[in-house]
Structure 1
C-alpha cells in the first residue's frame, strides 16, 4: 500500500499560486488531513465533496437560527466545509482517482453551499432584527459573486485569444488585429491548402512563464531565463510601466505561493460567511451593534475593486497586444 507523506501532498497537490486565505488558513490543516485520509482510508473525492456539502448545510441551519452562539458555530462549520472542499481535489490529484463528473459536482456544491449559507445568514439576521438592510444586501452579494465568475472566464478567454494570435503571427501565419469574441474558436487564419507555416521563432509569454515558475522574477525572464532563441512577449508591460511597484509586490507574494489577486472569490466568501458571523463575539465584550453588514459590505467593496483592476489590466493588455502584433507582422 502506498504511503503518502506531507512532502508528497505539497509537491503534487499544491498550486504554484493560490489565494492567501487558502495558503495560510486552509492548506496547513487540509494537507495533514489528506495524508491521514489517503493512507488510512479508501474515501473518494466525491465522498469528501458530499461531506463538505453536509457541513455546508449545517452551517446554513446555524446561520438561520441567528443567535450569536449559532453564528459562531455556523462560521466554523463553513470554514471546515471549505477545508474539505480543498481536500477532495488534493486527494484526486494525489491518488489519481478524480473524474470529470466529480469536478462538476464539486463546482455545483460550491455554489449551492455559498448561496445557501449567505442567504441563511442575511435572511436570518433580518428575521431576528427586522432591519431591511440585510435583505437589500443579499442581491448585491449574489450579483457580485455571479459577475466575478462571468468576468473571470471571459477575461481568461480573451487573454488566451490574444496569446494564440501572437503565437500565430510569430509563426508567420496571417492574423488580423482584432481580438476575437472569446466564444469563437478561430483565432488565426490557416492556409487554404491545409498546411501551416511554423518556421518562425518560438514564443514565450511572460505571464505563462511567471505562472508556471513563481520562483522567477520578471527581470530574470527578460534577461534570459527562458528557452534559447525564444521571443519574449509581455502583454502586461503597460500595466507594469504604470505601476512600477507591482512586479516587486507580485514577486514577494509568489515566494509564499500567494497570488497578487488578494481579494478573490475565496476571500469574498470567507469574509461573508466566516468573518462576518464571527464578529458576533465582539458584541459579548463591547456594546456594539451587529457587524455583519459592515463586514459584508467591505467584502463587496474589496471584490468589486479587484474586478475593476482586472478589467483595467485587460484593457491595457489589449493595447500591448496591438503593438506586439504590429511588431511581429512588421
Structure 2
C-alpha cells in the first residue's frame, strides 16, 4: 500500500491556531519542513520524537554542566534543536491523527524534566567555575518562577472552565424554564458576543491541558448560537488591545509575548551564546512574572463579567419562576 504523501500546506494546516512568537518565527518554519520527510518516508511516531527530543535535551544538560563557552554554545544549539524536534511530534500527531493521551503526558513530563535539569546544570556550572554564589540563588529563582508559572496556568484554566460551566448550566436551566413558562423572546433582540481572547500562554503542557477553547453555546433565551464573552470589562478598559491582538493573531502569534517558551529560549539559547547568563535569567524571570500578573488582572476582570452575567441570568430565572405553577417550582426550577 502506497504511503500517503503530505505537502507543506497540509503540514501548515496542522499548526496551532496561535503560538508563541519564538515558535512561529524561529521554530515552525524549520520544524514544518522536517515534518514532511519524517511523515512521508518514515514510520517514526510522535512518542519516539518526544523521546529523541529529550535525549537531545539531556545532551544540552551535559554541555551546560561543563560550563565553558564552547560547551555552552553547543548546549544552546542542542537545546534549540531539541525544541524543534519537540514541536514536530505534535504536528505529526495532528497531521496523521495519531495523538494519544499517553503521548501528551509523555511530552509534558519530558519537557518539564528537560527544563529543570538544564536550569540546574547551567546555574551550577557557572557557580562552580566562577565561585559566584549568586548563581545558586538564581537557580532557586529560576525553579520558583518556572513552577509558579505552571501552577498559575493550571489554576487559571480551572477558573475559566468553572465560570463557563456554571454559565452553560444556568442558561440551560433558564431555557428549560422559559419553555415551561411558554415565554418567547424575539430573535431581533439577539446581540452576538465576541470570542473570548484566549491569551493562553499555556504552551507546552498547558497548550495541551489548558488551551481552553471557547465552546459555542446556544443562547438559552434567544435560542441562537453564541459564545460566552468573559472579557468585556478588559476590552472596555483597554480598547486599543483589540487592534494589537488582531495584528498578532493574523500572524498566529498570541498576545502573551513572554511565555514559558521565550523564558526557556532566552535562558538556554540566548544567554549561553551571548554570555550574559546572570542578567538574562533575571530579565526572563521578571518578564515571565510581569505577564503572569497581567493574566491574573485579566482573569480578575473576567470574574466581574461572570458575576454580572450570572446575576442577569439568575434574575431572569426568578422572573420566569414566578410564572410557573407551584408544583413545577417544587421540582427545582430555580438556579
Deviations 1:108-144 (A, max 9, x none): 1101111111111110011010111110011111111
Deviations 1:186-244 (A, max 9, x none): xxxx99xxx9xxx9999976335878xxxxxxxxxxxxxxx993455421111112212
Indicate conservation of the 8 Å contact 1:203/1:232, yes or no.
no
Q: Aligned-pair distance for 1:326?
A: 1.8
Q: Aligned runs of 1:236-251 on 2, under 5 Å? A: 236-251=231-246
Instruction: Please say if 1:256 is aligned against 2:241.
Output: no
Which among 1, 6, 9 is matched to residue 7 of structure 1?
9
Please name the residue that 1:292 is paired with: 277
TM-score by length of 2: 0.79
Q: Aligned-pair distance for 1:21?
A: 0.7
Indicate conservation of the 8 Å contact 2:164/2:228, yes or no.
no
Instruction: Please say if 1:265 is aligned against 2:266.
Output: no
Q: Distance in 1 between matches of 2:109 and 2:227?
A: 39
Q: Aligned runs of 1:1-330 on 2, under 5 Å? A: 1-11=3-13, 13-173=14-174, 206-208=194-196, 229-231=224-226, 233-280=228-275, 291-330=276-315
Q: Distance in 1 between matches of 2:123 and 2:26?
A: 25
Q: Distance in 1 between matches of 2:238 and 2:313?
A: 26
Deviations 1:47-84 (A, max 9, x none): 11111011101101111111111111100100000001
Q: Distance in 1 between matches of 2:109 and 2:47?
A: 12
Partner of 1:98, secondary structure, is coil
Query: Do the aligned partners of residues 257 and 228 (structure 1) sit closer, same or farther apart at CA in structure 2, a change above 3 Å counting?
Result: farther
Paired residues, number: 284
Query: Do the aligned partners of residues 205 and 52 (structure 1) sit closer, same or farther apart at CA in structure 2, a change above 3 Å counting?
Result: farther
Query: Do the aligned partners of residues 126 and 169 (structure 1) sit closer, same or farther apart at CA in structure 2, a change above 3 Å counting?
Result: same
Indicate conservation of the 8 Å contact 1:203/1:233, yes or no.
no
Q: What residue ranges of structure 1 are gaps of 5+ in the alignment?
A: 175-189, 212-226, 281-290
305-314 or 231-240, which deviates more: 231-240
Deviations 1:287-314 (A, max 9, x none): xxxx101111100000000100111111
Q: Aligned-pair distance for 1:39?
A: 0.7
TM-score by length of 1: 0.80
What's the Cα RMSD here? 2.6
Larger Rg: 2
